[in-house]
Amino acid sequence: MTDATSPDAPRQDFIRQIVRSDLAEGRQQTVRTRFPPEPNGYLHIGHAKAICLSFGVAREFGGTCNLRLDDTNPAKELPEYVRAIQEDVHWLGFDWANLRHASDYFEVFYLAAEKLVREGHAYVDDLSAEEVRDHRGTLTEPGRNSPWRERSPEENLDLLRRMRAGEFADGAKTLRAKIDMASGNINLRDPAIYRIKKVPHQNTGDAWPIYPMYDYAHCLSDAIEGITHSLCTLEFEDHRPLYDWFVDRVDLAGSPELLAPLRERGIDDAASKPRQIEFSRLSLNFNITSKRKLMTLVQEGLVDGWDDPRMPTLQGLRRRGFPPAALRLLADRVGISKQNSVTDFSVLEGCAREVLDAAAARRLAVIDPLKLVITNLPEDHAEQLVFPNHPKDESFGTRAVPFSRTLWIEQDDFMREPVKGFHRLKPGGEVRLRGVGIVRCDEVVVDGERVTELRCTLDLDTRPGMPGADRKIKGTIHWVSALHALDAEVRLYDRLFDVADPDDDADGKGYRDHLNPEAKRVVRGFVEPSAAEVEPETRLQFERLGFFVADRRDHSPRRPVFNRVVTLRDVWARREG
């Protein structure tokens, strides 16, 4: 039986219904999708939904999915981002049929542009960027034709070739599609196809002084690769007429000569007309997904980098300890629809708890330590107790946990003046030490107002296997042996922002002003030895504290570092209630 979080689990939504219908009615013989991120930053949680959809649809229908880096803007693109994108896709549980770059097709794009010019569908414009905006019109007023719009195909072809040769300065000219400046869809008001930008490219070097625009390169890349279903988020719905306009006018399937540069390089894709389908993006509250704003947080040092565990990037979520299965489960829970909505961040946290509760081994740790001494045990007492690694799954096995006379417990498991309903340790009170037995607090050692030590007596008759082991008592607390526990750096992470909509500036504040000062706290804790020995990225439940992960970068057995993934319960629900 396939688990719901598996990449192979079957799903039902309107896109999959379209795919089923296309296959059943013979409109498509196979399924080809693609995931086409721009390598101008790190992927964020919104991309997780797109990855799960595009790769998932291809896998479910026995098709293929390409990973294509849409590298048409070299001024903002870095190999670092390319590497991270590939790593993120693999981490989420998917692999690609082909790794492609839009730059693989630059020669095809250019030959297609010449075809558009020769056939009167494109022209070279001398208007500046500001003048183009001025001529574009508004949502209620039509645009105005450029004075250069009626240049002859011969003149336009000559100018385009001179642009390609690097003759003109940046911004001096653009190649524009000749569509309709009065169109109600502003995207069809003679959009740019090529702009002059003399910037070296990470893949092509200085070979190109002109670069294609996204709307042009994206649809032709789909057509070149024979993509059958081009899955995009809703903001591209108004771009679909332009997408189809370019694909139809260029007609790669009917113009095989345009693909000659690819065949010479051994790339032989089945050019076809793709079908663009739009779906709603994944949006979470207490969150931002603007690459520009995320980059600002990094560049201004407001976070510790792109993989800061507070960040909504996939690298950040991974380092925080969110399992990929939780993101796949989130994508399923949110679903695929045509309606934009905002999902509460607690849904992601709930998915993480659900996955980790089943998958994470248990360990003992204390993050706000208070010393407890069991006075009726010898000073040199030490023994190994046997604990299950998972209380709900025997397949996890057991482990030895060292126990001694002196322990660390949590500060909030003791209260000198207990409130009503407090069932943990108090002066003269009893509590069960997890796996040990019942202790009574006989003496409280203080330094001023601060409690520094509890001196307790262990009821030996309540130890496991003894006659009184089943004696009823309300409270049970965890502990670690002070003699054996290892110091650990514990990083307590929370939501990056302290308001649901950080982009709402109605109060005169920007997203920077809403950074949550409690989003990261670093404390010194103690962990049982077996917790320190785990490999980086091992996820554990620290009993009664939450789910934690051994930090991907900094953890080692000699210097344990753990990040809190999520608390055991939704603490934000209580704050907002």
Residues placed in the known binding site for ATP: 38-40, 44-50, 233, 281-282
Quickly list H helices, 165-290. 214-224, 240-250, 260-264
Q: Where do the H-state alpha helices sit in 119-250?
A: 129-136, 153-164, 214-224, 240-250
Is the C-alpha dihedral spanning 389, 391, 396, 399 positive or negative? positive
Contact assessment for residue 287 and residue 310, using Cβ atoms and an 8 Å cutoff: no
38 catalytic, yes or no?
yes
Joined tokens for residue 463: 């130890």
In angstroms, the CA 215 to CA 412 distance is 58
Is residue 264 within 8 A of residue 220, CB to CB? The reply is no
Residue from 473, 493, 463, 433 nearest 312 by CA:
493
> What 8-state DSSP symbol labels residue 457?
E
Tokens, residue 528: 């049982």
CA triple 21-24-30, angle to 5 deg: 95
Task: In whole angstroms, give the CA distance from residue 10 to residue 209.
Answer: 46
The percent helix, strand, coil of the chain (3-state, each to 5) is 30, 25, 45
Which SS3 state, helix, strand or coil, does residue 383 take?
strand
Buried b (16+ CB within 10 A) or exposed e, 69-92: bbbbbbeebeeebbebbbebbebb
| Backbone φ and ψ of 370, nearest 5° | -135, 130
No. of helices (H) and no. of strands (E), the chain: 15, 25
Binding-site positions for L-glutamine read: 70, 214
Task: Provide the residue count of the chain.
Answer: 577
Helix (H, G, I), strand (E, B) or coil at 36: coil
Rg of the chain taking only CA atoms, in angstroms: 31
How buried is residue 386: exposed, middle or buried, by Cβ count under 10 Å (0-12/13-18/19+)? exposed
User: Which of 16, 32, 34, 38 does the annotation list as catalytic?
Assistant: 38
Determine contact, residues 564/520, Cβ cutoff 8 Å.
Answer: no
Pairing of strands 406-410, 382-388: unpaired
Given the residues 281, 371, 463, 544, select the one marked as catalytic.
281
Binding-site residue numbers are 38-40, 44-50, 70, 214, 233, 281-282
CA-wise closest residue to 404 among 388, 432, 385: 385
DSSP β-bridge partners for residue 383: 403
Q: Establish whether 417 is a catalytic residue.
A: no
Q: Which residues pair with 229 in a beta bridge?
A: 275
- Active-site annotation holds for 278: no
Active site residues: 38, 281, 291
